Amino acid sequence: MELTADQKNAADTRPNVIWIFGDQHRAQATGYRQDQNAFTPNMDNLAASGIDFSRAVSGYPLCCPARGSFLTGRYPNKVVPGHEHQLSPDQPTIAHVFNDAGYRTAYYGKWHLDGFHESEGRAAMHLIPPGRRGGFQRWLGYENNNSQWDCWIQGGEGDTAFHERLPGYETDELTTLFINYLQEQQRQAETGEPKPFFAVLSVQPPHNPYIAPEDARRHYTAGEIALRPNVPDIKGVTERARRDLAGYYAMIENLDWNIGRIMQALRDTGLLDTTHVLFFSDHGDMHGSHGQFRKQTPYEESIRVPFIIGGERSFYDGRKTGIVTAPLNHVDVAPTTLGLCGIDKPEWMEGADYSGYRLATRPMGSAPDSAYLQCIMPTGHDDGVDQPWRGVVTADGWKYIVLEGVPWLMFDLNEDPYEQVNLAHNHHHSAMRKKLNDRLREWIHQTDDQFPVPRL
């Protein structure tokens, strides 16, 4: 869409917005959430100067469906229903909306939305054509990569196409490229081509394998890791959890250091006061809680994600700070991001706009009473739940999960935050179970999903 001169001038005064997110970073693994293992001063500062959504969830705790959902604002059953499923090139994304609004758009890092199957080879070597890059004007990324010291990126098209290996650790190298982009935006503004931008940095860490640079790794040893209270005292579980978590927290410290680099670059370029910074994750990681590992489960360690809106004149000029308990879900990320820039979500986005929690100038709207949870197509991977499930987590702290036609899990998270007492089959709580079951049925209908809810 070609903008008029007046529209271009108006667009030039709009805020910028960036996304920074890792893979498998559970919400509990941050300093500002009082995790004694975590050293995250930059994340902590971002939370202190911004809005921390303390009950944010990944409604489908698996890489591809979650990513498809927060790029489109639509539920996974309509865009990316399973692992290694392709996001249709015909599906608009948030980048298309920003493009039409006169923004520059850029994506750096892990994509995992082109439908490539690892059984056919290494995904890092799979080439993604420009028409399947989500509409981003600049795209430097890769499909998937589980080798942080051997990361390959691609970009460009035609004569400018390239596919090359990054020289160092993935998070460090991608951050350097991202900072170069920020500096480029400053130079373009100085030469008379100011334009707001939406830019994304997506990194693989802290996804397994849990390997980090030495300067971060030296701070964590397996014997000193504190485990969550819901990790059972079984030798094989605790030993694996401590071993994995030592690398996991080192990766998080390295990611935090790189967030600090980005924040400093925003200060150096003069962009900090005009840029919203969103930090979040696609889903969490169990790390031995309830004897489980990795993702795909509906437990808190798997579905809860960090979600912070910071940056842009944090303490004045109508920017709110604090903790928000609204049940933000992955479908809400795109509408909220657009709202921060004064852009209303398009009709095809299903999520809620939570930008009013950050900006006094935006309407608060009506937040949903709950978040809808899905696992549509289990991957069959080791450590993953091998049955489809659906669930709901409410704003007032209840969680209810079902298998096909059967109640599975039910927790009062206010009384039992570590989910140690399953109430799903306790008759004393049958009235609440019926209420949650009815709400789940409504969510399934509302999202055009298909799943046999228990008859209660």
What whole-number distance in Å separates Cα of residue 112 and Cα of residue 415? Answer: 37
Same domain, 183 and 269: yes
**Two tokens, residue 331:** 């479908």
- Range of the structural domain that residue 429 is part of: 387-446
Same domain, 400 and 284: no
Residue 14: CATH number of its domain: 3.40.720.10
What's the predicted TM-score (pTM) here?
A: 0.94
Domain assignment present for residue 198? The answer is: yes
List the Cα angle 394/395/398 in 5-degree steps.
Answer: 40
List the Cα angle 175/83/381 in 5-degree steps.
Answer: 100
How many domains, in total, are found in the chain?
A: 2
Check the CA dihedral 236-242-246-247 and report its sign.
positive
Domain assignment present for residue 128? The answer is: yes
Domain assignment present for residue 375? The answer is: no
Strands, sheet with 152-155, edge to edge from the N-terminal-most edge strand: 162-165, 152-155, 138-142, 104-110, 197-202, 16-22, 275-281, 307-311, 51-53, 322-324
Domain assignment present for residue 422? The answer is: yes
Taking the mean position of all CA atoms in its chain, how far away is CA 32? 18
Burial of 135-149, coded b for 16+ CB within 10 Å and e otherwise, reads bbebbbbbbbbeebe
Cβ atoms of 51 and 322 closer than 8 Å: yes
Backbone φ and ψ of 403, nearest 5°: -90, -175
Same domain, 363 and 406: no
Number of Cβ within a 10 Å radius of residue 96: 16
Tell me which H or E stretch contains 152. Answer: strand 152-155
Same domain, 47 and 149: yes
Among candidate residues 271, 91, 75, the one with its CA nearest the CA of residue 187:
271
pLDDT tens, per residue, the chain with 456 residues: 344 444 444 446 789 999 999 999 999 999 999 999 999 999 999 999 999 999 999 999 999 999 999 999 999 999 999 999 999 999 999 999 999 999 999 999 999 999 999 999 999 999 999 999 999 999 999 999 999 999 999 999 988 999 999 999 999 999 999 999 999 999 988 888 889 999 999 999 999 999 999 999 999 999 999 999 999 999 999 999 999 999 999 999 999 999 999 999 999 999 998 999 999 999 999 999 999 999 999 999 999 999 999 986 655 566 788 999 999 999 999 999 999 999 999 999 999 999 999 998 888 877 899 999 999 999 988 888 899 999 999 999 999 999 999 999 999 999 999 999 999 999 999 999 999 999 999 999 999 999 999 998
Domain assignment present for residue 456? The answer is: no
Among candidate residues 71, 70, 83, 75, the one with its CA nearest the CA of residue 444:
75
Domain assignment present for residue 452? The answer is: no
